[in-house]
Structure 1
Amino acid sequence: MPQAWAEVDLDAYRENVRTLAALAPGAQLMAVVKANAYGHGLAPVARAAREAGADWLGVATLDEALALRATGDEGPLLCWLAAPGADFAAAARHDVEVTASSAEQLGEILAASQVPRIQLKVDTGLGRNGAFGDQWSDLVAAAARATADGVRLTGVWSHLACGDEPDHPANDAQEARFREAVDELRAAGLEPGLRHLANSAALMTRPSAHFDLVRAGIATYGLPPDPAMPHDVPLTPVMSLRARLAAVKRVPAGQGVSYGYRHVTDRETTLGLVPIGYGEGVHRAATGRAHAWFDGHRVPVVGTICMDQMVVDLGDLPAGRGDVVTLFGPGDAGEPTAVEWAEASGTIAYEVVTGLGGRIQLTHTADPGRSR
């Protein structure tokens, strides 16, 4: 048994994918597995997504796409982030669809390889990637020339800035701009292929943005796009972070704990040493604010979180070296969740799960009887 591990419940992941797909029955679903499947493990999560009926997989970079193809995945796959010099010829060889965000980038793609299928991205107001303003008209014109030479346009898409704030006026503005961009494509004689705008948040709260395909990312892992976003979609967090206690000791009242004595015990108590820290992606900012789960009880993380260890106050609970402590999980039994660790760290749940690494081993569990 490893000393620390992130346990990923693939059954819960598959069920989340099915639940989200059911919210947009008229659209295809893309499961986003970028950043090592948000820290959950690219290959097993991608397989689970396909098993759950995901029509597409989505990754950010071409390197991620090629890594996914190396695992044996053969289904529809889109990537969307590439700096100059990206190996677009490899994308064509491995049947990876790429995204052009400007006329210049489309030229780079076509110069590297006669890519048979391509998607276009329009910046409708996020201010990141995608063709903005007059750049979109330039990209449409370039795409019209490319399709005349045999390139197939398979999709047009954009990304919302405030999808996790359903009432934000930017959502209406971006959706309207997206529709205008699609109309401009059609006016140029191009069929847009799959139109997609909705991320997890819009999938859950904005049916008008579902179009032909929805891109489900953080929600497939059972985590909300934002804890404050209202929704009634039943999702199960997929990852649990566990470790075995490396040391257990009884200490008196008045004992300082960890660097800087930011915590001093106020009673005789038992301290447990958890052998992971910010070297594994556990945020130091959670010092004095986070809790763990031990023997059916929440226990506080006390003292400064260090590079490779942290301390929990076990009170009078019986404990021994090698006993398992859970930092976060789905919360069903009362254990802390990744969202709570994010709040304790002053960040978002995305960062909590994608940032894990170091000595933490990824393990994947599934019950064949539950898979459908």
Structure 2
Amino acid sequence: MVEGYCGALLGCRSVLRIKRSAVEENVRELFRFGGKKLIAVIKSDAYGIGVKYVAPILRELPEVESFAVACVEEGVLLREMGIKREVLILGGILPEELEAVKEYGLTPVVSDIEHLKIIGNEDIKFHVKYDTGMGRLGFVDEFVDDPRVVGIMSHLSTPADEEFSRKQIERFEAIVRRYSRKIKVHLESSAGVIYRVPYTTHIRVGLAIYGEKPLKEYPLRLRPAVSIRARVLSLKTLPAGHPISYGRTFVTEREMRIGVIAFGYADGLMKSLSNRGYLLYEGNKLPIVGNITMDMTIVDVGTANVRVGDWVTVVSEERTFGELAREAGTIPYELMCNVSSRVKREVT
């Protein structure tokens, strides 16, 4: 059964599909490799994939113990979706958010003395974040020992750098030892799980849930869970010497058959892929020619037997967000978060 909407009445020009079985397999693999329950990070609309589609899959899995989001607003949404498990607010708490935190039973992550002041004497359980080398959120020299502390965390800034990551792991261990009671301890991210830190109780993962490998050399067996396809809007043959798209950054050197695809930078295809990336059609690479525009991308279809209305592939198991990101000169997180709401979502 397919969930979501790609309406029969209007059809759809682009669709993002989430493969439930792949998400489930990836969660089990993360649990197997790390040996610990997961805190599933589904901030930023589940990294752009669609939280209302991803969260219902994850909440059915025994390996997922908690959820983590960036802000109170995202936490409230999870509660309204019926999520009962612990929901961590990674981005702390602001004064005007206190009532919502209490009403919806959210768990803020305290990383600044001002967060403690906001919570005051309220009966609110919280986690504490320590900065061991990230230089973003977290206490550096202060130590927070409060009976309401139910967990502590830190964050690896450069998991690919083993020497620096080991230093962070050691610094955090010294902090962990200062707590005399049993609490949740989490440090390892999707990339950080490779360190199998012995003193943590949970792993805090996001990207790997979708089968995207955060490091080039990654020992986990992940299965890409997301695909994106878009429709062909138009086909025509252009003569040699004909400019293509805004700015005339591409001029045909020969007669060329081009296709216009209903997917542009407003849908999430970064403009930096202009004249360098490609889309796929039945295994054929269709080079992107000219500048990617807001709603459309022009490709060289060559001899491929493409017809108007056909589907071309933007992201797939063979061509992941990671592969696309390398071509675009960015990271998969940015590409995923850029996928717009007009790209229909489905769970299969």
Q: In structure 1, what is the equivalent of residue 49 of structure 2?
A: 40
Give, in angstroms, the shift of residue 318 of structure 1. 2.2
From 119, 124, 139, the equivalent of 1:131 is 139
Unpaired segments ≥5 residues, structure 1: 366-372
Q: Deviations over 1:157-176 (max 9, x none)?
A: 1111111x152x22111111
- Structure of greater relative contact order (alpha carbons < 8 Å, 6+ residues apart): 2
1:220 aligns with 2:209: yes
> Which amino acid in 2 is paired with 1:37?
A
From 229, 253, 260, the equivalent of 2:247 is 260
User: Does the CA contact (< 8 Å) of 1:62 and 1:86 recur in 2?
Assistant: no
From 153, 157, 160, the equivalent of 2:156 is 160
If the length of structure 1 is used for normalisation, what is the TM-score?
0.86
Moved more, 212-221 or 270-279: 270-279
| Structure 1: distance between partners of 2:112 and 2:336 | 32
Q: In structure 2, what is the equivalent of residue 337 of structure 1?
A: 320
If the length of structure 2 is used for normalisation, what is the TM-score?
0.92
Q: In structure 2, what is the equivalent of residue 62 of structure 1?
A: 72
User: Does the CA contact (< 8 Å) of 1:14 and 1:51 recur in 2?
Assistant: no
* Secondary structure at 1:363 match in 2: strand
> Which amino acid in 1 is paired with 2:243?
G
Give, in angstroms, the shift of residue 74 of structure 1. 0.8
> Which amino acid in 1 is paired with 2:277?
A
Q: Deviations over 1:32-65 (max 9, x none)?
A: 1111111111122112112232111111111111
Unpaired segments ≥5 residues, structure 2: 1-10
| Structure 2: distance between partners of 1:245 and 1:210 | 52
Give, in angstroms, the shift of residue 210 of structure 1. 6.2
Q: In structure 2, what is the equivalent of residue 297 of structure 1?
A: 284
Give, in angstroms, the shift of residue 85 of structure 1. 2.1
| Structure 1: distance between partners of 2:177 and 2:206 | 27
Give RMSD over aligned pairs: 1.7
| Structure 2: distance between partners of 1:236 and 1:28 | 19
Give, in angstroms, the shift of residue 21 of structure 1. 0.8
Give, in angstroms, the shift of residue 255 of structure 1. 2.3
Give, in angstroms, the shift of residue 209 of structure 1. 5.3
From 102, 109, 123, the equivalent of 1:92 is 102
1:196 aligns with 2:174: no
* Secondary structure at 2:240 match in 1: coil
1:175 aligns with 2:169: yes
> Which amino acid in 2 is paired with 1:56?
S
Q: Deviations over 1:53-107 (max 9, x none)?
A: 2111111111111111111111122112135324223222222211111333112
| Structure 1: distance between partners of 2:109 and 2:270 | 34
- Aligned sequence identity (%): 30
Give, in angstroms, the shift of residue 275 of structure 1. 1.8
Counterparts of 1:259-338 in structure 2 under 5 Å?
A: 259-331=246-318, 336-338=319-321
Q: In structure 2, what is the equivalent of residue 120 of structure 1?
A: 128
* Secondary structure at 1:235 match in 2: coil
1:108 aligns with 2:121: no
Number of aligned pairs? 337
User: Does the CA contact (< 8 Å) of 1:199 and 1:217 recur in 2?
Assistant: yes
| Structure 1: distance between partners of 2:220 and 2:26 | 9
> Which amino acid in 1 is paired with 2:269?
V
